[in-house]
Structure 1
Amino acid sequence: MRKPDSLKALFLGAALLLASGAVVADTTIKPFSQMTNLDDGWEPLEFPKIDRHTTYRLIEEDGTQVVEAQTSNSASGLIARLNVAPGDSLILRWRWKVSNTFEKGDARQKSGDDYPARIYVAFEFEPDKAGWFERAKRKTVEALFGEELPGNAINYIWANQLARGKTVANPYAEETMMIAVTSGEDKVGEWVTVERDIVADYREAFGEEPPRLRGVAIMSDSDNTGESATAWYGDLELNP
């Protein structure tokens, strides 16, 4: 079942904040290679009205423990909650691999808003910079979830049609920007290492300095396209 169109990105943000209790002031993302189980530093990220969830499990590949994600007409993720002042520069580094991209995948279309692998970075909401409609929309969702929602977000995606290096607004919510850091079939089946300065990316995407970083999630989803893929995620590192 698809996420409601007008609230797709907000549901992701709501799930990000609902997944645990009080926000912790921690800059460390627990490495997958050091986890004893999937609850060790990361938490499930699931959506209302979606009963088909992506399957995540710890596996060993080439002597290193990684997370394997299998999605088939499904959507869910794993999240690490943070409360970090970005400063002048904040480097997010990870590696990932996918079995395939989605034939119907297109980051510019709601029907194609699925990715075999993505990294979701959520920032604190700044109400004084939001318009009336945005504040009203958030109040509606917050009434449903009982939690404050995050603000702008960056999604680093393994894209299909969107060229590597391109940035577009999410088709469901313009406050979420999609950055194609890997694209197409050329690297399918291979480990790809990605390093991004999320402060520089935020400035480029939104034209201003970023507020506090509130969380990072991995997600492999295919509920819009109805397709299937397997992805593998290595450790995520966050460094000044």
Structure 2
Amino acid sequence: MRRIATIAALLLSPLLGGAAERGETPPDLAAAGWTVGAWRGMPQALFSFLPSIASGTASGIAPLPRTAFGNGVAAGGIRVRGQAAGGFVRRALSGPAQCLSWRWRVDAGPPATALNRRGGDDRALAISVGFAGWPTHASLWQRTQHGFAQAGAGDHTLPRSMLIYTWGGTGQEPRPFPSPYLAGLGQVRVIQPADAPRGRWVEQRVDLAADWRATFGGDPPPLLELSISADSDDTRSPLDAAVDGIRIGPC
């Protein structure tokens, strides 16, 4: 994945929504609370509201009902398509870390790439949960790097820590492992490797509070943001993937 080679860019990474610019958000996604973002220097993937897709498409993705977060805000499903492209959608969250559940599918995506090293780390989907507080042992250096990133992010408040769940990677990466772009403030778990069966919905559920404690130690801070991203520019692969049924609630 091409990056801006500056100190601030270590934190202004795709997973924090930095090194980025606002994309054009379709009205139905905007109405559901999502904002589309583009990564500078990378072709923009197309994000669309899943219920607006007609059944019988080439990918076989049929419409699904609108869904909601635990706080009752309509979220809806999201589909991402592209070729050698990437991007993300994000929306605000609030409240305590609880259980996050969703269903996702990949009809086309990049081959397996090692996600725990910089460069060439494409993935069909990543679901990233941002928190308002620091990891328990965040260093002065990490906080300073985040400060550089926040200065470049304008009025968008960046998460101070993240849990990232991916469909992609080799499946041989440690579980979890630190994102090579987030200065130790983001931890990644490969949920479905790149060679997982395609063309069918897979249900997932994770305990955010338990994952936080296992990863960072201590009690998790409040939720701040959720993003869905995709990235296939290094392998120049086609993308056709979707996420639906997002829920945050008691475990």
| TM-score when normalising by structure 1 | 0.79
The alpha-carbon distance between structure 1 residues 157 and 42, as it changes in their structure 2 partners (threshold 3 A), is: same
Tell me what 2:79 maps to. 68
2:46 is aligned with 1:55: yes
* Cα gap change, 1:192 to 1:127, in 2 (>3 Å): closer
CA distance in 2, matches of 1:235, 1:16: 29
User: Could you say what secondary structure the match of 1:52 adopts?
Assistant: coil
Corresponding residue pairs, total: 221
Q: Identity, % of aligned pairs?
A: 22
Cα shift at 1:127: 8.9
After TM superposition, give the deviation of residue 132 of structure 1 in Å: 2.2
In angstroms, what is the RMSD of aligned CA positions?
2.9
Q: How does 1:187-202 map to 2 (within 5 A)?
A: 187-202=197-212
Which residue of the partner structure matches residue 113 of structure 1? 121
Which shifted more, 195-204 or 126-135?
126-135
> Measured at CA, do residues 163 and 71 of structure 1 come closer, stay the same or move farther in structure 2, by a change above 3 Å?
farther
Indicate the residue corresponding to 2:36 in structure 1. 44
Instruction: Name whichever of 182-191 and 139-148 sits farther off.
Output: 139-148
Which residue of structure 2 aligns with residue 166 of structure 1?
175
Match of 2:165 among 144, 149, 156: 156
Work out the CA distance in 2 between the residues paired with 1:104 and 1:14: 23
- Judged with a 3 Å threshold, the aligned counterparts in structure 2 of structure 1 residues 160 and 206 are, in CA distance, closer, same or farther, namely same
| Partner SS, residue 39 of structure 1 | helix
For structure 1, list consecutive stretches of 5 or more residues without a partner in the other structure.
Answer: 20-34
Counterpart Cα distance in 2 of 1:82 and 1:236:
12
Once the two structures are TM-superposed, the CA of residue 215 in structure 1 deviates from its matched residue by 0.7
Runs of 4+ in 1 over 6 A off after TM superposition: 16-19
- Asked if structure 2 preserves the Cα contact closer than 8 Å seen for 1:16 and 1:215, the reply is no
Question: Which of 203, 220, 232 in structure 1 is aligned with 2:213?
Answer: 203
Q: Is 1:83 the counterpart of 2:94 in the alignment?
A: yes
Partner of 2:12: 10
Q: Provide, for residues 8-41 of structure 1, a one-character-per-residue CA deviation record: whole Å limited to 9, x for no partner.
A: 553342559997xxxxxxxxxxxxxxx9711122
Residue 159 and residue 9 in structure 1: after superposition, are their counterparts in 2 closer, same or farther (change >3 A)?
farther
Match of 2:242 in 1: 232
Q: Distance between the aligned counterparts of 1:178 and 1:207, measured in 2?
A: 15
Distance 1:64 1:127, change over 3 A: closer
Per-residue CA deviation, residues 45-78 of structure 1 (Å, 9 max, x unaligned), is 233x235111011324444254220132222111
Query: Quick check: which one's helix share is greater?
Result: 1
1:179 aligns with 2:189: yes
- CA distance in 1 between counterparts of 2:236 and 2:95 reads 36
Give yes or no for contact 2:146–2:160 (8 Å, CA) kept in 1: no
For 1:96-115, what per-residue CA distance to the aligned partner results, in whole angstroms no more than 9, with x for missing partners? 11124423521112123221
- Counterpart-to-counterpart distance in 1, 2:94 and 2:21: 15
Report whether the alignment pairs 1:221 with 2:231.
yes
Question: Secondary structure, in 3 states, of the residue corresponding to 2:213?
Answer: helix
Residue 3 of structure 1 and its aligned partner are, at CA, apart by 2.5
